[in-house]
Amino acid sequence: MVASIELKRYTKIMILGLIWESTVGIFCRGKSTELEVVSVPECDSADSNHFANSDNLNYSEINSKRVSLDRWNLSSQKLIDSFPLDPIKENYVRQVRDCIFSAVHPEPFTSAIKLVAVSKFGVWAGQLGDGRAHLLGAYTNRHGTRWELQLKGSGKTPYSRDGDGRAVLRSSVREFLCSEALNYLGIPTTRAASLVVSNDDVKRDQFYNGSVRNEKGAIVLRVAKSWFRFGSLEILAYSGETELLRKLVDFIIKLHFPLINVTSSNRYLDFFSQVVTDTSYLIAQWMSVGFAHGVCNTDNFSVLSITLDYGPFGFMDFYDPNFVPNTSDDESRYKIGNQANVGRYNLDKLRNALKSLLNPKQQLLTEQILKGYPDLYQTKLMELFRAKLGLIGHDNNDDYLIAYLLKLMEDTRADFTMTFRQLSEITQQQLAANSISEEYWAIQDLARHKKFSYWIKLYLSRLNRNKLDTDEARKTRMENLNIIISFKGVNPRYILRNWMAESAIKKSERNDFSEVRFLKKILRHPFNKQTEAEDAGYSSRPPSWATELRVSCSS
């Protein structure tokens, strides 16, 4: 992670048009002129006229002009004052020690750039990340929430290894869309605030087969309450920088774990326990919507248990526990069915990183805490899947009912998202009579299984044990807000399928960003049926060409 001491003029372009749900300003590029603003509908445009009549934004000078970034209070000082800064000022790739941050400036694009879209708000590798992120600073909004702003793809840093510090358009579009999609699915995540593309050439071998080609460069402005990862602690422990590790963990606890007493001798134990719980819950939520991260290493696991760094991710179309979204993952280490196991592996690495801060008794207790991870995960997973099936309360046979359904889905290659969604739309009477129309195409696929009728009997029998319940109440419960499980919704109708992202990327490569903006608009309301989304086929069977799509780590 790299901190920029001051915002250069060109970095204002990255924040142009940013409208964050919880901030107080609309920001502009100041006097910089190398920018073509692309009109964006639905409060996505950076055009000031679009906001001229907005009465509900709480901005003091809204009429006919934007608020300059110069008037926005953005600072890295708290982070800089809290930790030693890299004393070497030159920006060259090296092994950096005895500090948390290096001060370097982002590298501007040299060609014309476009603001594409904005949003409302297992082996130690010896290196943390790929060194292409610049931390601009932190901002506290009017609600008192602190956000750290970071550029991804903004040039080389001392941590860049052999990379060029850039990101390409295709991966940046995917990160921009998916981080916003997960947020509106109710899953903890970093946020993508804006996306900028240039005509600068970035050379990439997308599938590592020797076929290098020039691609468009892009930068994502993304925000999070913290960008510290398991790897941020692990790298300090690995290099023996114990006091700096202690300082960092104390800083994280004080800033982000208010329920932990930062002066307690058990604070690191309490910190680890909370991260174990929160990580288990995060992965259970991924699984409940069929999301596979793609690269679940310790550098991509947040200490705040939020979804971090979107590379070769993927949402399952048909249910397959062996689904691997990353074609670079030859060993299927990060297949969707292994995410919970990899989560435990990463937590064990975090436990090892904390060892030097713990006494022998506390070290033994961290082992016991980690042993509780499988139960935490399974309990949360079943809670989510019971909600997906509209079940009330807990029954001893619920695990069997859910596992049986998933096995039927695996055997029939039934669509994961639409099977659950259509079960929330079809009536119990239709299920009992096996009267399944083409409208419920995913359930039709499931019904081909010879055991389908048996499962339906089990399911209807379980629903009948929901006392004082109605079929209409069940259907509503399966689709909409479920406060009990702290989940924005239960069964989405729309997810960011690979074919949808790919279609938007292909258009973007031709300087047509309309589908990026359209997808962002649709994915803000994934649980609501939308005519435009239906017309676009977003809840239909995936097209045949979708099965040929490949995504790699090259970005």
User: Rounded distance, CA 88 to CA 431, Å?
Assistant: 68
User: Rounded distance, CA 322 to CA 478, Å?
Assistant: 26
User: Rounded distance, CA 450 to CA 506, Å?
Assistant: 41
Decide: 349 and 252 in contact? Cβ < 8 Å: no
DSSP characters over 45-93: ---GGGGTT--SS--SS-TTSPEEGGGS--B-HHHHHHSPBPS--S---
Decide: 495 and 315 in contact? Cβ < 8 Å: yes
E strands, 256-335, where?
Answer: 291-292, 314-315
299 classed as catalytic? yes
User: Rounded distance, CA 23 to CA 165, Å?
Assistant: 29
User: Rounded distance, CA 555 to CA 549, Å?
Assistant: 16
Q: SS3 for 187-253, per residue? A: CCECEEEEEEEEEEEEEECCCCCCCCEEEEEEEEEEEECCCCEHHHHHHHHHCCCHHHHHHHHHHHH
**CA dihedral sign, ordered 27, 32, 35, 36:** positive
Question: What tokens appear for 86 in the block?
Answer: 């890299």
Q: How many residues does the chain have?
A: 555
DSSP 39: P
Measured at the alpha carbon of residue 156, what is the angle toward residues 155 and 159, in degrees to the nearest 5? 135
Q: Is 518 helix (H, G, I), strand (E, B) or coil?
A: helix
Closest CA to 211 of 554, 466, 472: 554
Question: What tokens appear for 22 in the block?
Answer: 């919880």
Measured at the alpha carbon of residue 141, what is the angle toward residues 59 and 131, in degrees to the nearest 5? 120
Number of Cβ within a 10 Å radius of residue 144: 7
Marked catalytic residue, from 86, 200, 299, 445? 299
Sequence letter at residue 494: Y
Q: Mind telling me the catalytic residues?
A: 299
